[in-house]
Structure 1
Amino acid sequence: MLRFSRVFVLAALALPCVSAKAAPTRDPVDAVREAIVRQIQQEARSRGWQLVKVDVSPLADSRFVCKTTPIVTAVPGDNLLRRSADLECRDGSGARATIWAKVAVTARAVSLAADVPPGTPLTPADLGGADQAIATLATDYVMKPEDAVGFASRRRLANGQVLTRRLLDRPFKVTRGSTVTVVVRDAGIEIETEANAMDNGREGDTIRIANPKSRKILRARVNADGTVTPGVSEAKPG
C-alpha cells in the first residue's frame, strides 16, 4: 500500500501543471483591427447599408508594451478613411496608447439600370446596385433604393451611373405653361376650376397661376396630387 501511494505521488508530480501557464496575450494590432471593423460594420448596419466590406490596417506603436491583452475601445467618427482606437493595459503598468489605422470601406450603392432624361422621376425599374468606395458615414451616395424612388434627375443620367443626392431633386408636380386644377375649399364646400401655371412647382411650393379668362394672377400652393390651392392674389399683368 505504501509503495502504491509513493508511485501515485511521484506520477502526479511528473504531470505538467497546465494551470500554471499564463494565457497567451493578443497582439494589440489585431485587437485594434477587430474593434474598428466591428464598430464600422455596426454603424453601416444602423444605416441600412448592404454588402459592406471593411479593411483596416493599424499602424503599430512600438512604445506600447503590455503583458496582458489590453482593453481596446474604437473611437467613433464619420471618417471612413482613418480611424483610431484607445488601448488600456491592465497589467498594473497603467500603460495607455492611441493607435491609428488606415481604413477602406466599400458598400453597395444605388446605380442606374438605364439612361434617365432630366426631370424624370425614378422608378424601381430604373435602379440597380454597384460596389462603391465610401469615405464618410455622411456620404452623398444614395445607399438605399427607397431613398431614390420618386425623385427626379437634375440632369441627364447614364446607365450604370452611381447616384448621389445632389443629382436628385423632388419631382415637379406642376410645370410652367401647363393647365392645373385649382381646388377651393370653404365651409365644407369644394370647388374645382382650372388655371394656367406660370411657374414650375414641387409639392409644398408656392407658384403663380393665372385665370385663363380674367388673366388675374393668384399665388397657390402645390399639393401632392398636382392640384393647387390658391392664396393671395396679385396684380393683373398689363
Structure 2
Amino acid sequence: MQKLIFSFLMALASLSAPLQASEPASTHANITQEVNDWLNTSLSNSPGAFSFELRPIVSRLKLDGCTQREISLPQGNRLVGNTMLRVKCIEGANWMFNLPVKISIQVQYAVAARPLAANQEISTGDIAMQQGDLATLPGSVILDPATAIGRALNSPVAAGQTLRQEQLRTAMAISQNQKVKIIFRQDGIEISNEGIAMNAAAEGQPVRVRLDKGKTITGTAQLGGIVDVGP
C-alpha cells in the first residue's frame, strides 16, 4: 500500500514539474536586451547619430514569469535626453515598471550667420550650421536649412542664435500701399489693371486693392506684386 501511495505521489510530481518550468521568472538580463533592441530600432530613423545609456533594472525587483512583454514610451516623454521607458508584462504575469534612459542624438542645426532684422527674408548666406545634441536644443529647432530659405523673421535674431520654426513666417508677397498689377482671368481671357494694396499679404493670401475713383476689389496675392482676381 505504501509503495502504491509513493508511486502516485511521484506521478503527480512529474506532471507538475513541466508546468512550473514553462513560466520561469523573467531575468533582468533578458529584459535589458529587449529594451536595448527596442531602442536601437526606434532610434534607427533619427536625424543624427544616436547613443543611449540605460539605467540597470533594480536588482531587488522581482518579476514573475512573463511570456510576452511590451516596451513603450509613456505619454509626455520624448525619445531624446533624460526620459523614461515603460516595460509591461502582457502575457503570463501582471507587472509593470519604468526604466530611466539617457538618449543623445547628434545633429546639424541652423543658427543665424549674422545679426538678422525683423521682417527680413532669409537667404542662404543668413544661415550657418552647427553640431549639437538634440536633447539640449529647442524642439522646434530647424535641422534642414532649406525650410527656412525665403521665409521672413517675426523678430530680430542675434548672430549665432538658434533658428526655430516659430520665429519664421511666410514672406510677404505684397506690402501695404504697394503698387500692384491686377490680373483677371476667365475663359482664356486675361485683363490687367493697376491699383494700390490696402494690406500686406503672403503668397496665396487675400489682399484688398484700391482702384481709381476709390473702388476696391479683393484678390489673391502672388509673388512679383501681382494680384489674381477670379471670376
User: With structure 1 as the length reference, what TM-score do the two structures score?
Assistant: 0.67
Change (3 A) 1:83 1:32: farther
**Greater mean deviation of Cα atoms: 223-232 or 182-191:** 223-232
Instruction: Name the count of aligned residue pairs.
Output: 198
Q: For residue 220 of structure 2, what is the amino acid of its counterpart?
A: R
CA deviation digits over 1:112-167, x for unaligned, max 9? 2222222122122222223244379x922222112212211111112211111110
Q: Is the 1:112–1:127 Cα contact (8 Å) retained in structure 2? A: yes
Change (3 A) 1:173 1:100: same
Aligned to 2:3: none
**Matched residue SS, 1:118:** coil
Q: CA deviation at 1:28?
A: 5.4
CA distance in 2 between partners of 1:132 and 1:37 (Å): 17
Aligned to 1:215: 214
Aligned to 1:159: 159
CA deviation digits over 1:13-51, x for unaligned, max 9? xxxxxxxxxxxx88358536633541452242xxxx2x3
Decide which of 54, 57, 79 is 1:60's aligned counterpart. 57
Change (3 A) 1:133 1:187: closer
Gaps of 5+ in 1: 1-24, 233-238
CA distance in 1 between partners of 2:227 and 2:133 (Å): 41
Change (3 A) 1:56 1:73: farther
Give the 5 Å matches for 1:166-205.
Answer: 166-205=166-205
CA distance in 1 between partners of 2:164 and 2:206 (Å): 27
Q: Is the 1:207–1:219 Cα contact (8 Å) retained in structure 2? A: yes
Q: What is the Cα-based RMSD across aligned positions, in Å?
A: 3.4
Q: CA deviation at 1:66?
A: 8.4
Q: Is the 1:172–1:203 Cα contact (8 Å) retained in structure 2? A: yes
Q: CA deviation at 1:190?
A: 1.2
Q: Is the 1:35–1:72 Cα contact (8 Å) retained in structure 2? A: no
Q: CA deviation at 1:65?
A: 5.5
CA distance in 2 between partners of 1:122 and 1:108 (Å): 18
Aligned to 1:143: 143
Q: For residue 187 of structure 2, what is the amino acid of its counterpart?
A: A
**Matched residue SS, 1:110:** strand
Q: CA deviation at 1:192?
A: 2.0
Q: Does 1:227 align with 2:226?
A: yes
Q: Is the 2:201–2:221 Cα contact (8 Å) retained in structure 1? A: yes
CA distance in 2 between partners of 1:125 and 1:71 (Å): 54
The alignment-based identity, stated in percent, is 14
User: With structure 2 as the length reference, what TM-score do the two structures score?
Assistant: 0.69
Q: For residue 134 of structure 1, what is the amino acid of its counterpart?
A: A
Q: Is the 1:64–1:96 Cα contact (8 Å) retained in structure 2? A: no
Give the 5 Å matches for 1:10-159.
Answer: 27=29, 31=33, 34-35=36-37, 37-44=39-46, 49=47, 51-58=48-55, 60-61=57-58, 62-64=60-62, 74-76=71-73, 79=78, 80=80, 81-86=82-87, 97-106=96-105, 107-130=107-130, 131-134=132-135, 139-159=139-159
CA deviation digits over 1:170-213, x for unaligned, max 9? 000000011111111123111222111110101121121111x3
Change (3 A) 1:166 1:98: same
